[in-house]
Amino acid sequence: DQQVKQNSPSLSVQEGRISILNCDYTNSMFDYFLWYKKYPAEGPTFLISISSIKDKNEDGRFTVFLNKSAKHLSLHIVPSQPGDSAVYFCAASLAGGTSYGKLTFGQGTILTVHP
């Protein structure tokens, strides 16, 4: 049962343009969402997060949008840079004591930014 889905295995964009990575979830109890970036041979690195009580969070070139009614979130990277080329994971967390330390991850999207 894939509760967090990233339906696009890969995305290719030109340097300077916008990258939009999408994520859907099925569990309406998720209350916190995170994006991680992963380079080969390294562990995932935290990028940005959003609480379910918000619909947008911005940090520099990265913005995450949350649409609770559609159970959908997206990560926008503007402008995209070649160094952004990596695998991007969407992750979700449940509130409270039943979910300590547990993130539920999507399958990841490989982003390639061409110079």
Partner 1 sequence: KAGVTQTPRYLIKTRGQQVTLSCSPISGHRSVSWYQQTPGQGLQFLFEYFSETQRNKGNFPGRFSGRQFSNSRSEMNVSTLELGDSALYLCASSLDGDAFNQPQHFGDGTRLSIL
Q: Which stretch binds partner 1 (CB under 8 A): 12-20, 62-70, 76-84, 106-114?
A: 106-114
Under rule CB under 8 A, residue 44 binds partner 1: yes
Is residue 73 a contact point for partner 1 (CB under 8 A)?
no
Q: How many residues contact partner 1, by CB under 8 A?
A: 27
What are the CB-based long-range contacts (under 8 Å, 24+) for 33-36? 33/64, 33/66, 33/73, 33/90, 33/91, 33/92, 33/93, 34/90, 34/91, 34/92, 34/93, 34/103, 35/62, 35/64, 35/75, 35/88, 35/89, 35/90, 35/91, 36/88, 36/89, 36/91
Instruction: Catalog residues that contact partner 1 under the rule CB under 8 A.
Output: 31-32, 34, 36, 41-46, 49, 51, 89, 93, 95, 97-108
